[in-house]
Amino acid sequence: AQRFGSVRSTLARAQTGNAGRIVTEERESAMAGTEMPLKYSSGKASPLGVSQDESGLNFAIFSQHASSVTLCIKLPERGTKDEESEKAVEFALDCQKNKTGDIWHVSVEGLPTSGVLYGYRVNGPQGWEQGHRFDSNIVLLDPYAKLVSGRNYFGLDKGPSQPFGTYDFDSSPFDWGADYQLPNLPETDLVIYEMNVRAFTADESSGLDPAVRGSYLGFIDKLWFCRSRICLNSELMQWSCYLFLSLMSWSSRGTLTQGTTWSIHGVILQSIFLLP
């Protein structure tokens, strides 16, 4: 029970990073609808994704054939948590000043260091036969997003059902604990239980609090069930069977709860400490 409490206490932490930045031009954002004074500059091409330095946040994304890229940012309004209440700010990148090779980049000063959602509108050549799928009407997820924000709505083709990249530079890195060790089970002893995270605990018959049903936290609460079935390994379909939306972070796709992916660390850690 003590270890379980320790696991839960670490779920609200995310990795931080530091990166330098070369500023060659700085202009104030003229975007309406935002109360904070945002400034953007050329930024730098490395590292990919979003990184932090002493004066702002750097965004960088690779696209070999893009003709234009727009950074889309959702700023949460004070006192609200509703996704539809967030204010959208967009920065059209200059191909002469915000591009190095095939990497588009921009640095933004004045953004909060957590709780911001972002994505990209990317336009380019048309040609299905050549493999091009450019559509600037769609906001794309950054494949190098350090965290992926889930969704509130399911079964929708448009609107708020899409995931966004996000970040948290306010929290410390996830604490795996001093006694953490990787499991080393022989394949002959493996009993694998494949499951869908959402379906596993979404129903009220799970006996879980509605706040954690259908989530990774709900899965942690039900690990005892897997052990009672002599299942030493659980194959979560969200990890092994779905196409990953982000190279750097698993998403909450297939779960009921909106949020980032911190809870996955807790699943891994709690599973290891339940091993014999």
What are the structural domain ranges in the chain? Answer: 2-12+175-273, 26-166
Read off the pLDDT of each residue in 194-217 and give the average, rounded to a whole number: 86
Say if residue 16's pLDDT is above 60: no
268 vs 248: CA distance, rounded Å:
16
Q: How confident is the model at residue 152 (pLDDT cuts 50, 70, 90)?
A: low
Give the contacts of 186 (CB within 8 A, at least 6 positions apart).
Answer: none
Q: What is the pLDDT of residue 127?
A: 85
Residue 39: its pLDDT value, please? 92
Separation in Å, CA 251 to CA 88, 136, 159:
22, 23, 18
The predicted pLDDT at position 264 comes to 59
144 versus 197: the higher-pLDDT residue is 144
Q: What is the pLDDT of residue 30?
A: 37
Count Cβ neighbours within 10 Å for each residue of 179-211 and write b for 16 or more, e otherwise. eeeeeeeeeeeeeebebebbebbbeeebebeee
What per-residue confidence (pLDDT) applies to 18?
30
What pLDDT was estimated at residue 274? Answer: 46
Range 15-50 burial, b when 16+ CB lie within 10 A, else e: bbeebebebeeeeebeeeebeeebbbbbbbbeebbb
To the nearest whole percent, how much of the chain has pLDDT over 90?
31
Residue 228 sits at φ, ψ, to 5 deg, of -70, -20
The pLDDT of 37-41, averaged and rounded, is 89
Which helix or strand (DSSP H or E) is residue 138 part of?
Answer: none
| Class at the top of the CATH hierarchy for domain 26-166 | mainly beta
- Residue 124 pLDDT greater than 80, yes or no: yes
Higher local confidence (pLDDT), 144 or 238: 144
Give me the pLDDT at residue 123, please: 97
Distance, in Å, from the CA atom of 123 to the CA atom of 149, rounded to the nearest integer, reads: 24
Helix (H, G, I), strand (E, B) or coil at 219: helix
Q: Is 214 within 8 Å of 256 (Cβ atoms)?
A: yes
